[in-house]
């Protein structure tokens, strides 16, 4: 390492905080004030910063943040709604903490759980501390039951045994958070992405509150997106370094089925039977080849997107402005673009 590189690192560390709390918000105007007050009270005595990412809000969320911001608060305003995963990555990119906490902006997570999680992360050799909503305050049939089924399926298919994949409250060492590379809607699989880096993960029970203001941004339609992302996560977890083990296996099975069918049809042809145009044969070939092609194209397209962004160091979002209050004049705001 050259003296120039060492000086750059020392200069960066000089301005780093101990903890960055990254929160994505969209149309949460009524939650901003109690959210910021709760974080400040919980982290009193900690060297922290709050990164609020406005993911295309159409209400007064931005103004509420600016009204209640202090010198520790940074607002990252995205140009449009990119989704929670991309907004999280934008917050991580703009953070300066040695440790990074992810928190929901709907007041259902409790900031008072953060100090104990941070202490565990610093005191023991963990890379990620994940929250588990022990007494979840959500609807049983529309939220709890589907979530329990999804968590069970994800655990079995990925081999990463986290009780509650849906809990946003998680703490990371900075090097792990920076390499998550969240695209699309992969925030649900953050523990799997961290595990791919070799991260050591533990989990602790955290408090959970019913939503007081606003409404959830998630509906039952997310089920199909979760299933699609799950296929991708299984691929990354098991086959990212050996894709031929997956595609070769499927290819040989497909080839074997085709060989058996063709041999059967050849025997029928030799016996003088007409084999052309059998509906079962046509339907089977359409479903078999179509399914393999769709899954394969989906995975290859995802890899291409990741390669496109990472090889060129591109971001998947654009920032309109970044707001941060001056330390000597808290009410005023300095805009850094």
pLDDT at 57 over 80: yes
Give 283's contacts (C-beta < 8 A, 6+ positions apart).
none
pLDDT at 331 over 60: no
- 153: tokens are 């399926």
pLDDT at 129 over 90: yes
pTM (global) more than 0.95: no
pLDDT at residue 36, as a whole number: 95
pLDDT at residue 118, as a whole number: 94
pLDDT at residue 190, as a whole number: 87
Three-state secondary structure string covering 184-228: CCHHHHHHHHHHHCCCCEEEEEECECCCCCCCCCCCCCHHHHHHH
Mean pLDDT rounded to a whole number for the chain: 79
Give 158's contacts (C-beta < 8 A, 6+ positions apart).
189, 192, 195, 230, 233, 234, 237
Phi-psi region of 210 (alpha: psi -120 to 50; beta: other; left: phi over 0): beta
pLDDT at 62 over 90: yes
pLDDT tens-digit series, residues 165-185: 888 899 999 999 988 888 767
pLDDT at 212 over 90: no
Specify whether the CB–CB gap between 130 and 203 falls below 8 A: yes
pLDDT at 130 over 70: yes
pLDDT at residue 40, as a whole number: 95
Q: Which residue has the higher pLDDT, 245 or 258?
A: 258
pLDDT at 316 over 50: yes
- Over residues 38-42, the mean pLDDT reads 94
pLDDT tens-digit series, residues 254-309: 777 777 777 777 777 788 777 677 766 666 677 777 777 777 777 786 777 677 66
Q: Which residue has the higher pLDDT, 91 or 148?
A: 91
Q: Residue ranges of the domains in the chain?
A: 3-238+314-336, 242-311
- Distance CA(19)–CA(40), nearest Å, equals 12
Topology of the domain comprising 3-238+314-336: Spore Coat Polysaccharide Biosynthesis Protein SpsA; Chain A (3.90.550)
- Over residues 221-249, the mean pLDDT reads 70
């Amino acid at each position: 390492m050259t003296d120039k590189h060492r000086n750059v690192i020392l200069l960066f560390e000089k301005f780093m905080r101990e903890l960055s709390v990254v929160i994505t918000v969209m149309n949460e105007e009524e939650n901003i004030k109690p959210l910021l007050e709760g974080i400040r009270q919980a982290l009193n005595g900690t060297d922290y910063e709050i990164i609020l990412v406005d993911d295309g809000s159409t209400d007064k969320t931005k103004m509420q943040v600016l009204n209640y911001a202090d010198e520790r608060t940074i607002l990252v305003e995205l140009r449009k709604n990119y989704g929670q995963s991309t907004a999280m990555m934008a917050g991580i990119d703009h953070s300066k903490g040695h440790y990074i906490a992810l928190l929901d902006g709907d007041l259902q997570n409790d900031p008072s759980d953060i100090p104990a999680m941070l202490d565990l992360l610093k005191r023991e050799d963990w890379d990620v501390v994940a929250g588990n909503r022990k007494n979840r305050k959500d609807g049983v049939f529309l939220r709890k039951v589907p979530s329990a089924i999804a968590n069970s399926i994800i655990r079995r298919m990925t081999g990463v045994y986290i009780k509650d994949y849906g809990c946003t409250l998680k703490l990371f060492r900075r090097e792990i958070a920076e390499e998550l590379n969240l695209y699309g809607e992969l925030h649900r699989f953050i523990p799997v992405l961290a595990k791919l880096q070799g991260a050591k993960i533990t989990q602790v029970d955290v408090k959970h509150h019913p939503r007081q203001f606003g409404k959830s941004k998630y509906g039952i339609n997310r089920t199909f997106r979760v299933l699609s992302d799950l296929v991708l996560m299984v691929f990354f977890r098991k086959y990212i370094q050996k894709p031929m083990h997956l595609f070769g296996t499927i290819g040989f099975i497909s080839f074997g089925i085709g060989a058996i069918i063709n041999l059967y049809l050849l025997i029928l042809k030799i016996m003088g039977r007409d084999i052309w145009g059998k509906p079962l044969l046509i339907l089977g070939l359409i479903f078999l080849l179509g399914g393999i092609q769709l899954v394969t194209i989906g995975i290859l397209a995802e890899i291409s997107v990741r390669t496109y962004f990472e090889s060129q160091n591109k971001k998947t979002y654009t920032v309109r402005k970044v707001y941060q209050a001056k330390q000597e004049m808290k009410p005023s705001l300095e805009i850094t673009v």
